[in-house]
Structure 1
Amino acid sequence: MKNRKHWLLMLIFVLLLGILAACSSDAGEGDNEPDDGTEQPEGEGDGDGVTDGPQMGGTIVGAMDTAPTGLFNPIFYTEAYEANILDFTHEGLLSQNENLEFEPNLAKKWTFNEDQTQLTLELEQGVKWHDGEEFTAADVVFTYKTIASPGYVEAGGVRDDYVIRLKGFEAFRAGETDVFEGVTADGDYTVTFHFTEPNVTALSDASFPIIPEHIFKDIPVAEIPTHAASLEPGKVIGTGPFKFTEMIDGEQYVLEKHADYWKGEPYLDGITWRVVDQAVILGLLENQEIDFVADPNGFQPADYETVAAMDHLSIIEQPDFGYQIMGLFHNHRTPEESEAGVINPENWVPNEDLASKEVRQAIAYAINRQGLIDGLLYGKGSVINAPIATQFWAYDGENPNQYPFDPEKAKQLLDDAGYVDTNGDGFREDPNGEEWVLSLHFPLGNQLRERSAPIIEEMLEAVGINIDLAQPMEMAAYVPELETNTDWDLYLLGWSLGSGDPDPSGLWGSTAAYNFGRWYNPEADQLLQDALTPPDAFEQDYRKQVYSDWQVMFQDDLPAVILYAQNSLWAYNKRIQGIEPLPYSMYNEPQLWWVNGE
Structure 2
Amino acid sequence: MEQLSSLKKKVTSYFSHQKKSLRKFQKQHHWDKHLVSVLNKSKFPTIRQLRYLPKVLTKQERQKISILSLIILFASIVFLVNGYLLATVSVPKAGGDYVEGLIGSPRFINPILAQTDVDKDLASLIFPGLLKYDQNRQLVTDLAESYEISEDQLTYTFHLRGDVSWHDGEKFAANDVIFTIASIQDPEFNSPLARSFIGIIAEKIDDNTVKFVLKEPFAPFLSLLTVGILPEHLWYVIPPANATLTELNRAPIGAGAWKFDKFSKDRVGVIKSYSLIKNNSYYGNKPYLNNIIFKFYADFNSAVDALKSKDVQGIAYLPKEFRTDLKKYKNLNYNNLDQPQYTALFFNQNNNEFLKADYIRQVIALAIDKRTIVKDIFNSEGRIADVPSLPGIVVNSDIKKYDYDPEAAAELLEKNGWELTSTTTADGITKQVRQKKNWYLQLKLTTVDQPVNVQTAELIKSSLDQIGFDVQLDIVDKSKILQDVIRNRNYESLLFSENLGTDPDPFPFWHSSQNEYPGLNLAIFTNKAVDKLLEDARRINNWDERKDKYLEFQKIIAEELPAVSLFNATYTYPQDKSVKGFNLYSIAVPADRFSNLHEWFVKTKRIWK
Structure 2 length-normalised TM: 0.69
Counterpart residue number, 2:464:
460
Alignment partner, residue 373 of structure 2: 372
Q: Does 2:497 align with 1:494?
A: yes
Distance 1:92 1:370, change over 3 A: same
Q: CA deviation at 1:295?
A: 4.2
One-letter code aligned to 2:223: S
1:551 CA drift (Å): 0.6
Larger radius of gyration: 2
Instruction: Say which structure is richer in helix.
Output: 2
Q: 1:329 offset after TM fit, Å?
A: 3.4
Q: Does 1:549 align with 2:587?
A: no
- Structure 2 partner of 1:187: 206
Code of the residue aligned with 2:98 in structure 1: it is I
- Amino acid aligned to 2:284: K
How far apart, in 1, do the equivalents of 2:247 and 2:344 lie?
Answer: 30
Question: Which residue does the alignment assign to 1:109?
Answer: 146
> 1:42-441 to 2 correspondence within 5 Å?
53-56=92-95, 58-64=96-102, 66-67=103-104, 72-75=109-112, 77-129=114-166, 134-148=171-185, 157=192, 160=195, 162-163=196-197, 169=199, 182-213=201-232, 227-229=244-246, 233-234=250-251, 239=256, 241-243=258-260, 246=263, 252-257=272-277, 259=279, 261-263=282-284, 267-275=289-297, 277-278=299-300, 284-295=306-317, 297=319, 302=324, 306=328, 310=330, 312-330=331-349, 352=353, 354-389=355-390, 392=392, 394-414=393-413, 424-425=423-424, 426-428=432-434, 433=439, 436-441=442-447
Unaligned runs of 5+ in 2: 1-83, 425-431, 605-609
User: What is the distance in 2 between the residues matched to 1:230 and 1:467?
Assistant: 51
Quote the offset at 1:369 in angstroms.
0.9
| Separation in structure 2 between the aligned mates of residue 559 and residue 440 of structure 1, nearest angstrom | 16
1:399–1:591 distance in 2 versus 1, CA, 3 Å: same
Partners of 1:298 and 1:194 lie apart in 2 by 45
Instruction: Using the TM superposition, give the Cα deviation of residue 384 of structure 1 relative to its aligned residue in structure 2, in angstroms.
Output: 1.9
Change (3 A) 1:212 1:522: farther
Indicate if the aligned counterparts of 1:508 and 1:514 stay in contact, CA closer than 8 A.
Answer: yes
CA contact (8 A) 1:108 1:123 kept: yes
Q: 1:122 to 1:158 in 2, by over 3 A?
A: closer
Letter in 2 for 1:557: E
Structure 2 vs 1, CA of residues 432 and 545 (structure 1 numbering), >3 Å: closer, same or farther? farther
In the other structure, the counterpart of 1:26 is: none
- Give the counterpart of 2:595 among 581, 584, 588: 588
**Where in structure 1 are there 5+ consecutive unaligned residues?**
1-44, 170-180, 332-349
Indicate the larger mover: 118-127 or 262-271.
262-271
Name 2:539's counterpart in structure 1.
Answer: 533
**Residue 595 of structure 1: how far off its partner (Å):** 2.9
Aligned match for 2:527, one of 510, 518, 521:
521
Q: Deviation at 1:371?
A: 0.4
Name the CA distance, whole Å, in 2 between partners of 1:463 and 1:250: 51
Moved more, 226-235 or 448-457: 226-235
Change (3 A) 1:525 1:148: farther
SS in 2 for 1:491: strand
CA 1:451–1:280 in structure 2 vs 1: closer, same or farther (change >3 Å)? Answer: farther
Partner of 2:124, secondary structure, is helix
CA RMSD of aligned residues (A): 4.1
Please give the alpha-carbon distance, in whole angstroms, between the structure 2 residues aligned to 1:560 and 1:138.
46
- State the 1:258 CA deviation: 5.7
Q: Out of 113-122 and 130-139, give the one that drifted further.
A: 130-139
> Residues 377 and 582 from structure 1, CA distance in 2 versus in 1: closer, same or farther, beyond 3 angstroms?
closer
Distance 1:71 1:351, change over 3 A: farther
User: Which residue of 2 is the match for residue 28 of structure 1?
Assistant: none
TM-aligned CA deviation for residue 69 of structure 1: 8.6
Distance 2:248 2:486 in 1: 21
CA distance in 2, matches of 1:479, 1:244: 36
Task: Give the aligned residue type for 2:501.
Answer: G
Q: Partners in 2 of 1:80 and 1:353 — Cα distance?
A: 38
Q: How many matched pairs?
A: 501
Change (3 A) 1:86 1:113: same
3-state SS, counterpart of residue 346 of structure 2: strand
Shift of residue 473, structure 1, vs aligned partner: 1.4
State the one-letter code of the partner of 2:600: W
2:416 is the alignment partner of 1:451 = no
Q: 2:55 maps to which residue?
A: none
TM-fit CA distance, 1:493? 3.1
Cα distance change on mapping 1:361 and 1:571 into 2, 3 Å: same
Distance verdict in 2 for CA 1:245–1:330, change over 3 Å:
farther
Q: Secondary structure of the equivalent of 1:191?
A: strand
Match for 2:506: what amino acid?
A: P
Rounded Cα–Cα distance in structure 2 between residues aligned with 1:213 and 1:479 = 34
Determine the C-alpha separation between the residues in 2 that align with 1:568 and 1:397. 24
Share of identical aligned residues, percent?
A: 23
2:474 and 2:532 map into 1 onto residues whose CA distance is 35
Q: Does 1:563 align with 2:583?
A: no
Give the distance between the partners of 1:326 and 1:502, measured in 2 at CA: 20
Distance between the aligned counterparts of 1:457 and 1:370, measured in 2? 15
SS in 2 for 1:186: strand
CA pair 479-385 structure 1, distance change in 2 beyond 3 A: same
Instruction: Go from structure 1 to structure 2 and tell me whether the alpha carbon gap of 1:427 and 1:358 turns closer, same or farther (over 3 Å shift).
Output: same
Q: Distance in 2 between matches of 1:150 and 1:252?
A: 32
Distance in 1 (alpha carbons) for counterparts of 2:552 and 2:382: 25
**What is the TM-score when the length of structure 1 is the normalising length?**
0.70
CA deviation map 1:504-543 (0-9, x unaligned): 2233333443334433333312111122334xx6260x33
Secondary structure of the equivalent of 2:397?
A: coil
Q: Deviations over 1:145-186 (max 9, x none)?
A: 45456689xx583663x436xxxx2xxxxxxxxxxx622221
How big is each residue's C-alpha offset from its partner over 1:362-381, in whole Å with a ceiling of 9 and x where there is no partner?
A: 32222211101111122222
> What one-letter code is carried by the residue in structure 2 that aligns with 1:121?
F
Q: Is the 8 A contact 1:123 1:189 kept in 2?
A: yes
SS state at 2:407 partner:
helix
Give the counterpart letter for 1:313 in structure 2.
L
SS of 2:538 mapped into structure 1: coil
